[in-house]
Amino acid sequence: MSQVHFDEIGKLYGVDVWAVRSFNLTVNEGEFVSFLGPSGCGKTTTLRMVAGLERNTHGSLRFDNEVVSDAKAKIFLPPEKRHVGMVFQSYAVWPHMNVFENVAYPLRLKKIEKSVIQSEVMGVLKKVELDLLSERMPHQLSGGQQQRVALARGLVMKPRILLLDEPLSNLDAKLREKMRKDIRSLQKELGLTLIYVTHDQAEAFQMSDRVVVMNAGAVQQVGTPHEILNQPATNFVKDFIHSH
């Protein structure tokens, strides 16, 4: 697992539209950090810059001591070389592949031996409680089960960082509650460095070691759930917390 160091990270569109501005943070190894804020605040853009799906226009990003992206030095490591797992809001489960094949896909791309794929995939499916459904097709699964397939696919590569972008927003309230607990316990069990994007306060405060509250591309406050709830640093944080 890795630390993630954001140093003055920025994303500028055109000449004056800042999606993210002067983002500074260190996510510690094995830490669960949530980016929380309203729609359009820059949280998903920041996550995508970690994954290498967006290129930062300012600042630099390091995993431990390795620079993965530096705007000034023109360093940019492509997504496939970052060894990061990403789980999207839409699940992105392939409808023509069964559960096993969906999870095995990234390992097949890397030309890993069949016997290794078999044991790795079944191992990770057991962790997300899908080992008995490995031959099912996506249309035979519930939303929660499809989300677990996406999670298993993110974990199977043994990523040094796992990124989740609003992964529970398509689930009903009861299932969301269960998945929160499952993701948190899995993160602790595996010692994962995990960055989680959400607009849902309850989700952020229930799951995270620390929360980064964002608005209009800028960090408003970084702290434990307790600190943010009891000592909001700005009027925006105070209003955002009490209006939800």
Domain residue spans of the chain: 93-158
The residue ranges of the chain whose pLDDT is under 50 are none
pLDDT at 244: 63
Q: Do residues 19 and 66 touch, judged by C-beta distance below 8 A?
A: no
Q: Which residues contact 29 (CB under 8 A, 6 or more apart)?
A: 1, 2, 3, 191, 193
With beta carbons less than 8 A apart as the criterion, state whether 199 and 166 touch.
yes
Q: What is the pLDDT of residue 1?
A: 67
How confident is the model at residue 239, as a pLDDT?
93
